[in-house]
Structure 1
Amino acid sequence: MNKRLNVTQHNTRPDKKAIVLLSGGLDSATVLAKALAEGYECYALAFDYGQRHRAELVAAERIAQSMGAKAFKVIKLDLSSIGGSALTDMAIDVPDAGGSGIPVTYVPARNTVFLSIALGWAEVVDARSIHIGVNAVDYSGYPDCRPDFVAAFERLANVATKAGIEGHTLHIATPLIDLSKAEIIQLGTSLGVDYALTVSCYKADNDGLACGRCDSCHLRKEGFAQANVADPTAYKETS
Structure 2
Amino acid sequence: MTATSSQPAVVLLSGGLDSATCLAIARDQGLAPYALSFDYGQRHAAELAAAARVAAALGAVEHRVARIDLAAFGGSALTDARIAVPVGGVAEGEIPVTYVPARNTILLSYALAWAEVLKADHIFIGVNAVDYSGYPDCRPEYIAAFQAMARLATKVGVEGSPLTIHTPLLRMSKAGIIQAGTRLGVDYGLTVSCYQADDDGRACGICDACRLRRAGFESAGMPDPTRYRQTDQG
Which bracket does the TM-score occupy, shorter chain normalised? over 0.9
Q: For residue 74 of structure 2, what is the aligned residue in structure 1?
A: 83
Q: For residue 42 of structure 2, what is the aligned residue in structure 1?
A: 51
8 Å contact kept, 1:51–1:88: yes
Q: For residue 233 of structure 2, what is the aligned residue in structure 1?
A: 238
- Equivalent runs, 1:77-226 vs 2, <5 Å: 77-100=68-91, 101-226=94-219
Q: Give the 3-state SS of the residue equivalent to 1:211 in structure 2.
A: coil
Q: Give the 3-state SS of the residue equivalent to 1:103 in structure 2.
A: coil
8 Å contact kept, 1:137–1:180: yes
8 Å contact kept, 1:98–1:140: no
Shift of 1:8: 5.5
Name structure 1 gaps, 5 residues minimum.
1-5
Q: Give the 3-state SS of the residue equivalent to 1:133 in structure 2.
A: coil
Cα distance in 1, alignment partners of residues 10 and 59 from structure 2: 14
Q: For residue 63 of structure 2, what is the aligned residue in structure 1?
A: 72
8 Å contact kept, 1:200–1:217: yes
8 Å contact kept, 2:3–2:31: no
Shift of 1:162: 0.3
8 Å contact kept, 2:3–2:32: no
Match of 2:9 among 10, 18, 41: 18
Which AA in structure 2 matches 1:129? H
Output one character per residue of 1:136-180: Cα deviation in whole Å (capped at 9) or x when no partner.
Answer: 000000000000000000000000000000001110000000000
Q: Give the 3-state SS of the residue equivalent to 2:63 in structure 1.
A: strand
Output one character per residue of 1:159-217: Cα deviation in whole Å (capped at 9) or x when no partner.
Answer: 00000000011100000000000000010111110000000000000100000000000
Cα distance in 1, alignment partners of residues 50 and 4 from structure 2: 24
Cα distance in 2, alignment partners of residues 97 and 50 from structure 1: 24
Cα distance in 1, alignment partners of residues 2 and 196 from structure 2: 34
Cα distance in 1, alignment partners of residues 109 and 194 from structure 2: 25
Cα distance in 1, alignment partners of residues 192 and 183 from structure 2: 19
Shift of 1:233: 0.2
Cα distance in 1, alignment partners of residues 142 and 3 from structure 2: 35
Q: For residue 9 of structure 1, what is the aligned residue in structure 2?
A: 4
Which AA in structure 1 matches 2:29? E
TM-score normalised over the length of structure 2 = 0.96
Name structure 2 gaps, 5 residues minimum.
none
Which AA in structure 1 matches 2:22? V
Cα distance in 1, alignment partners of residues 169 and 68 from structure 2: 26
Shift of 1:97: 2.8
The size of the alignment, in residue pairs, is 230
8 Å contact kept, 2:3–2:33: no
Q: Give the 3-state SS of the residue equivalent to 2:38 in structure 1.
A: strand
Cα distance in 1, alignment partners of residues 184 and 102 from structure 2: 31
Which AA in structure 1 matches 2:13? L
Output one character per residue of 1:41-81: Cα deviation in whole Å (capped at 9) or x when no partner.
Answer: 00000000000000000000110011110000000000000
Q: Percent identity?
A: 60
Q: For residue 51 of structure 2, what is the aligned residue in structure 1?
A: 60
